[in-house]
Structure 1
Amino acid sequence: MDALPDSLPDINSILVRLPESGKTIKKLSVRYFRGQTLFTVKTNDRAYTICSDTLKAVNPLTWESIEHTAKKWVDAPIIKIDTLTERDQWIMYSRYKAEMPIYKFYFNDKQKHQLYISSRTGEVQQFTDKGQRFRAFIGAIPHKFYIPAIRKNTKTWTTLLTIGGVIALIAALSGIYLGVYITYRKYKAKRRIGSPYKNYWYKWHHILGLIFGIFLATFAFSGAMALQRIPSWVIKTHGDYRVSSSQLRGKYLSADSYKLDYRILAKKYPDIKSIEWEHFQEVPIYNIVVGNKEIRIDASSSDVKELYLQPSVVEKAVQSIHKTSELMSTTLINEYDEYYLSKERSLPLPIYKIKVENADNSIYYINPKTGDFKYFNQSRKAKKWIFSGLHYLNIKWLVERPVLWTIAIWLLCLGGACVSFSGIWLGIKYMRRKIKSFF
């Protein structure tokens, strides 16, 4: 993105140019794009792009400007350009449909970068290199059935993931049962615990199955539940399963609520690239991009200061969702807990933890520097353990010991792989014998 220019107009001079006056403004932002200072204004019904220069219209998007954007990303020759009218492997989310057709640029550099640019807005949508694509092909894509023919239909994809997890769960549980039963029979006959098999493959499949079978079952169960909610008959949810950002942040504020003139930010931060008008309850906020970093600025006074929400503000936000009669407790935590946890330590600290004493035992984690939040109720807490806990070993005690976590995840994955591959090999050998018996 290009930096904003020094000279910027008064925001009211932009808003008066809207074709529809009096409408609630849901989004307002400014950036410098294709040689113009552009304001994006979104109301309930429409979105508008307005050029700051009243004498000029917004420049039409041309092929030259798209190509110029592409060349800024990679300093290497462009060897091929595709025009995509359907989503491919690397742009599978449904939001990409609105950007079609999308131009896909192939670069002749060592990393073999590929860049996707929208023909509608000229904005970059995706950026990959050969290393990322290779790791995805051997990891995330087969693991998550992330195949275009399947992923394009979200319902089909979700169903197949669930069915695959259930089949794996049945295989794991039946294997555990047989393994224990065979071991018990040997103990009953010879009063000695061990595998009764002499054959190398049978013996080690049996032993490894007894050791790692339970973890295969938990991986399968958590995989099957990955995109499913906990049924309400298992854990009843009394309030909303999800809480949206708009619910917590409250009603949109008028432009007059922003006491800090946004133009001051361009002088304070020379490398400022965009400004977006936000809010949290009655606190007006500027979300600015400076260099490669996002910063939230408190716009409730004429002084430039970074946002830091007070406890009373976040409590009011939570009260707006729940009944005021429900008791709450607010603490500022400086370390992760079981439901606010990140192995990469990417989640910010300190953060407000707000407990609501209601039937759902609701918990909110709200970042005072951004207003971003995470919400948990009884059902979502159970989902954390069933999916994140069992599937990724996202357990506080392990996450706080990264060496142990790494050893545990590799050991369980490799052990599970040995059980799976040995089982496949034994199945193939069995099928061979059956086929030979027919001829």
Structure 2
Amino acid sequence: MLGLCKRYLYLSHRWLGIVLCLFMAMWFVSGVVMMYIGYPKLTPQERLSALPGLAAERCRVNLAQALAAGGQVKSPDSIRLTSVAGAPRYVFTYGKTQIAVDAETVNRIDQVTPAQALASAGSFLATAGGDYLDRIDEDAWTHSKALDEHRPLHRVQMDDEQATLLYISNTTGEVVRDANRNERFWNWLGAWIHWLYPFRGGALDQYAADIIIYTALAGSILSLLGIVVGLLRWRFKGRYKHGRKTPYRNGWMRWHHILGLGFGVIAFTWILSGLFSMNPWKIFDSGAAKPKLQAYMGGEISQRYFPLAVPEALARFQDAGFQAREIEWRLLNGQGYYIAFDGQGRSRILAAQANGRVFEKFGWQELQNAAERLMGQSKVSQHRVLSEYDFYYYSRAAHTMTGHIEKRLPILRLEFTDPASTWLHLDPYTGNFSKLDAGRRVSRWLFAFLHSWDWLPLLNNRPVWDILLIAFSAGGLLISVSGIVIGWQRLNRKLSA
């Protein structure tokens, strides 16, 4: 019986390997590429650096007029005043819908013409000319769900040194993605194949997530079986007749066995953590109701909380030595504030009252009061001001998957007694918050830590992190390549028999 079990174990590993080793080799190669070049994205700082300063004399439309022009009855979740092709424009967010209104003419932007898209691209990259290409729903560099509210997208090819391809929102007219020549070239070997994007956008689009999940699950099983087989076949005591610890005389089989014992655990954890990146079957979701943003704000965003006119607000930022390129409307504890951003991503806050003043940060108690209202009956069990990054709150390079999310310091961490053991991180520079419940903290271990080795002692000591990940990726690649060769040889023998 034991012999039969072993036989099925060996056969399972053999035939799974023939099917999956090609995928695994692809993942190891593309993973190394992604260490240095990520999927194209437009970071907040890149976007802000390309915007002109907001001109007070051109901001003629007040918030009430712009909201009326937007045509929505309910209050927006967020409001921005930005620039498109050099002109000021309101952008209102309602859930996953965005509506734009011209801040000079009070005209609602129903759709963007090719000429307007070209003008937006020219303003964004003013040192280069551009050629309008087409309007597309999705292509190889725009699979991100964050772009769904902007589709279809206009594409403009710029003639700068990097041959940058710009994507312009059909909803707001803003540039929402840039992809230069270097990013496009390397991503064919990086994120595009690592995330199995060839299955996106075609007949298999609706199955793309399941393909990734079940392929990664099968790869995890293959790796685990390989570890078990490798241990069973290794002679810990004594040697085989030919004098070695491994039973395999053939070079590829012998190297596959040795490499599997040396790097098999790393390969298993990487593939398994890749599976966890998809949050399969919603295993990391807490099931708790989504907190109501209005509870945090203390009301609904409307003109009555912002009696200070936008031109006057811009003048006060200017008097404080701060050149605003974008403004957000913020409601906190029932008080209105303007949050201004400059071209370097720095921010300042202005109380939106007649006697409002410009300042840098909200107080910790103000933020805690808003957070407690957000969490309802749940109580704060612990609060802490973080002045340094830790395991759950840290920053990554801009090109990485989460690198575009700004992680400022200091921030306030509040831990609550709710069933999901929620933590809130509150940014005093903007009043923004992020939520981290027990499920997401588990995901932090099982995905980010195991997959990217996001551990501060390594991240803060480059190139130790690079050397380790490249060495282990090379080991995983050699396991996969040897498996491909062994599988090809076996299939040849089967087909020739």
* Per-residue deviation, 1:388: 0.9
How far, CA to CA, are the matches of 2:233 and 2:275 in structure 1? 28
Q: TM-score, normalised by structure 1?
A: 0.83
* Per-residue deviation, 1:134: 1.5
Cα distance change on mapping 1:9 and 1:40 into 2, 3 Å = same
Percent identity between matched residues is: 21
* Per-residue deviation, 1:108: 4.1
How far, CA to CA, are the matches of 1:375 and 1:223 in structure 2? 22
AA aligned to 1:239 is A
Encode CA deviations 1:266-309: one digit per residue, 9 max, x unaligned.
22337433323122333422232323425241415534323422
Secondary structure of 1:89 counterpart: coil
Tell me, yes or no, if structure 1 residue 206 matches structure 2 residue 266.
no
Aligned length: 432
From 164, 180, 183, the equivalent of 1:129 is 180
Which structure is richer in relative contact order (CA contacts within 8 A, separation 6 or more)? Answer: 2
Q: TM-score, normalised by structure 2?
A: 0.74
- Return 5+ residue gaps in structure 2 as ranges: 1-50, 398-402
From 212, 217, 224, the equivalent of 1:173 is 224
* Correspondence list, 1:285-300, <5 A: 285-299=337-351
Secondary structure of 1:133 counterpart: helix
How far, CA to CA, are the matches of 2:352 and 2:250 in structure 1? 76
* Per-residue deviation, 1:159: 0.6
* Per-residue deviation, 1:394: 1.6
For 2:43, the equivalent position in structure 1 comes to none
AA aligned to 1:263 is P
* Per-residue deviation, 1:378: 1.9
Tell me, yes or no, if structure 1 residue 139 matches structure 2 residue 139.
no
Deviates more, 1:350-359 or 1:163-172: 350-359
* Per-residue deviation, 1:375: 1.9
* Correspondence list, 1:254-293, <5 A: 254-258=302-306, 260-267=308-315, 268-269=317-318, 271-293=323-345
* Correspondence list, 1:353-372, <5 A: 353-372=413-432
- Return 5+ residue gaps in structure 1 as ranges: none
Secondary structure of 1:223 counterpart: helix
For 2:388, the equivalent position in structure 1 comes to 335
For 1:377, the equivalent position in structure 2 comes to 437
* Correspondence list, 1:43-54, <5 A: 47=99, 49=101, 51-52=103-104
Deviates more, 1:343-352 or 1:409-418: 343-352
How far, CA to CA, are the matches of 2:77 and 2:291 in structure 1? 18
* Per-residue deviation, 1:333: 1.3
For 2:32, the equivalent position in structure 1 comes to none
For 2:7, the equivalent position in structure 1 comes to none
How far, CA to CA, are the matches of 1:432 and 1:99 in structure 2? 50
- Answer whether contact 1:287 1:294 (CA < 8 A) is retained: no
How far, CA to CA, are the matches of 2:156 and 2:132 in structure 1? 5
How far, CA to CA, are the matches of 2:127 and 2:259 in structure 1? 51
- Answer whether contact 2:82 2:326 (CA < 8 A) is retained: yes
* Per-residue deviation, 1:74: 5.9
For 1:239, the equivalent position in structure 2 comes to 288
Give the alignment's Cα RMSD to 1 decimal. 3.7
Secondary structure of 1:196 counterpart: coil
* Per-residue deviation, 1:180: 0.3
- Answer whether contact 1:14 1:50 (CA < 8 A) is retained: no
For 1:415, the equivalent position in structure 2 comes to 475
How far, CA to CA, are the matches of 1:306 and 1:31 in structure 2? 21
For 1:252, the equivalent position in structure 2 comes to 300
Deviates more, 1:135-144 or 1:26-35: 26-35
For 1:322, the equivalent position in structure 2 comes to 375
AA aligned to 1:278 is R
For 1:227, the equivalent position in structure 2 comes to 278
Secondary structure of 1:272 counterpart: coil
* Per-residue deviation, 1:230: 7.3
Cα distance change on mapping 1:12 and 1:326 into 2, 3 Å = closer
* Per-residue deviation, 1:132: 0.5
From 450, 454, 476, the equivalent of 1:394 is 454
For 2:34, the equivalent position in structure 1 comes to none
- Answer whether contact 1:39 1:52 (CA < 8 A) is retained: no
AA aligned to 2:266 is F
How far, CA to CA, are the matches of 1:411 and 1:180 in structure 2? 22
Secondary structure of 2:197 counterpart: coil
- Answer whether contact 2:90 2:103 (CA < 8 A) is retained: yes
